[in-house]
Amino acid sequence: MKKIMSLILSISLALSISTVAFAEGTDTTETTQTTQTTQSANLTPEQQQAREAYLNKHFDDMNQLVTLRQETKEAVDANNTVAKKIKDAVKAKTTLNTDNVSKLKDLASQRKTLVEQVKQLNQQRISLRSQYKEAVKAKDVDKMKSIEQQILDLNNQVSSLKDQYSSIKTQVAPLKDELKNIKDTNSQLKDSVKNQLEQAKAIGETIKSQEKEKAQLWNTYKENIKNKDYQAAGTTFQAILNKKASILDNIKKRGTILNQVLTSLS
C-alpha cells in the first residue's frame, strides 16, 4: 500500500498535479493551499534539469515519508496506551479506601455528638451543685438527697459517654494509621517516578518545538515548488524527513521512559 501511494504521488507530480497537499498530511496544522506544479514546457533548461533530478529522488522520499508517518502513528498510539495504564495504576495505588474514609467521617460525627452531650450534662451538674448549696443553706435534707442522686445519675451518664468516646477513639486509631500509610506510599510513589516523568515531559516539549519547525519547513517547501526551485525543494523535503525521523526518535525515547514508569508502578 505504501509503495502504491508513493508511486501515485510521484506520477502525479510528474504529470504536473500538485502533491504538496498530500505530502503535508497531518504534518502541519495550517490550511493546506494547493500549489500547481508548472508544466515542464514552461521551465528553463536549468529548472527542467533540477526538476528531473528532484523527481528521480522523490519516489524514494515519498516512500520514506509514508513509512515515517506509519511508524509515528504506531509509536504515538503505543505511548497513549502506556500513559493510560500509568494513570490507572497510579489511581489504583493512591486512591484512599472509601470505606475507611466513610467510617472515619461517621466516627467523627459520633464523637462530636458525644462531646456536645457531655457539655450539656456538665452544665446540668453545675446547675445542680448551685441548687445543692442553696439546699444546704436551707438545711433541706430531702432536697439535698434528691440533688445528690441527680448528680450521681449525671456522673454515671458522663462516665458512660466517656467510655463510648474511648471506644470510638480506639476504632479511629487503626483507620487513621491505614490512611497515613496510604498517603506515605503515595508520596514515595511520586518521588520514585518524579525524575522519569520530568524527563518524559521535557521530551514532550522538545517534540512540540520540533513540530513547529517541521510546519515551517512545509511552508518553505511549498514556496520552493511555487517558485520552481526544485533543487531547494529537494533539500527542504529531505530536511522535513530528517525532522520527522528526529521526532519519531524522541517519541520512542518518551515511550521507553513511560514503560519504565509503568514497570515501577507494577
Using the predicted structure, report yes or no on whether residue 263 has a pLDDT greater than 60.
yes
pLDDT attached to residue 10: 40
Q: Which of 180, 255, 243 is nearest to 216 (CA)?
A: 243
List the chain domain ranges: 2-95+192-265, 98-185
Cell numbers standing for residue 121: 450534662
- Cell numbers 500509610 label which residue? 181
pLDDT attached to residue 44: 81
- CA 181, 184, 185 angle in degrees (round to 5)? 85
Lowest mean pLDDT among 47-51, 145-149, 164-168, 255-259: 47-51
Cell numbers standing for residue 50: 533540477
Residue-wise pLDDT for 174-195, tens only, equals: 888 888 888 887 788 778 788 8
* CA distance linking residue 167 with residue 77, whole number of Å: 54
* CA distance linking residue 77 with residue 195, whole number of Å: 23
pTM: 0.61
* CA distance linking residue 210 with residue 216, whole number of Å: 10
Mean pLDDT of the 142-148 span: 92
* CA distance linking residue 66 with residue 23, whole number of Å: 9
* CA distance linking residue 50 with residue 234, whole number of Å: 9
Query: C-alpha distances in angstroms, 212 versus 27, 67, 205?
Result: 9, 21, 11
* CA distance linking residue 176 with residue 5, whole number of Å: 64
- CA 197, 198, 200 angle in degrees (round to 5)? 65
Q: Which of 197, 251, 246, 262 is nearest to 75 (CA)?
A: 251
